[in-house]
Amino acid sequence: MKSYTLDDLARMIDHTNLHTDASPKDMEVLCNEAKEHHFAMVAINQVQSGLCAKLLEGTDIHTGAAISFPLGQTTIASKVFDTKDAIANGANEIDYVVNQTEIKASNWDYIKDEMSQIVAACHEKDVTCKVIFENCYLNDEEKIKLCEIAKEVKPDFIKTSTGFGTGGATFDDVKLMKDHVGDAVKVKAAGGIRDAKTFMKMIECGAQRIGTSAGISIIKEFEAMMKEQGVSTLEI
């Protein structure tokens, strides 16, 4: 169990708008909300990196670019190029999607090479790197192998889902991922997390970052809980 203030909980949230039709105005709203609630990051499509970095300039809120999103079906070279391009435009966190085709072919050397190159491109610029597994398409053996590779390559986070697949984060997946990377890599849960109860259970299972488009309502739930209990922290 650990004590969390409302700000501690907000700083675990990647405030998300990855919709295809998201407008510049939508990005402005997203960034203003992130500033108001002091979220950790805005999670946006790569093309929005420059705009969001400008909107968040002077704050400690990060701009998180999604790379090869949501399918992951681009070459290593193009993923690395897009990573570097996003960073050059102001992104200071990268969430990239692994190549599912190569996982299904058990081409683990390819997966390790892809992860190594993208992690290196991020860490060279002191940028946080998250690897999206998209667990809904994987069996446990594949998830565990990805964890083993991540434990060796050391991205900052491994992440459950894009939120665009056939399923999102599950408690079992978060626990499995945490059990197999230990303290070497952090775990981000994303996809379908829309209330405080689910958020808390994800933390209990080992998640240290939560990706959600429902961050505001979740934080308001936590605020109401604290007020009702007459406390300034929650034990999770």
What is Dmax (Cα atoms) for the chain?
Answer: 54
Active-site choice (143, 159, 178, 186): 159
201 is catalytic: no
Determine whether 1 is exposed, middle or buried from the number of CB atoms within 10 Å of its CB (0-12, 13-18, 19+): exposed
Active-site choice (95, 143, 178, 186): 95
* Spatial CB neighbours of 61, under 8 Å, sequence gap ≥ 6: 31, 34, 35, 38, 39, 40, 41, 42
* Nearest by Cα to 99 from 144, 146, 154, 64: 146
DSSP string, 39-52: -SEEEEEGGGHHHH
Active-site choice (84, 130, 143, 188): 188
Strands (E), 90-194: 93-97, 128-132, 157-159, 186-190
| Residue pair 144/111 in contact by the 8 Å Cβ criterion | no
| Residue pair 6/216 in contact by the 8 Å Cβ criterion | no
Residue 101 is encoded by which pair of tokens? 């085709």
Helix (H) / strand (E) containing 209: strand 209-212
95 is catalytic: yes
Please identify every residue annotated as catalytic.
95, 159, 188
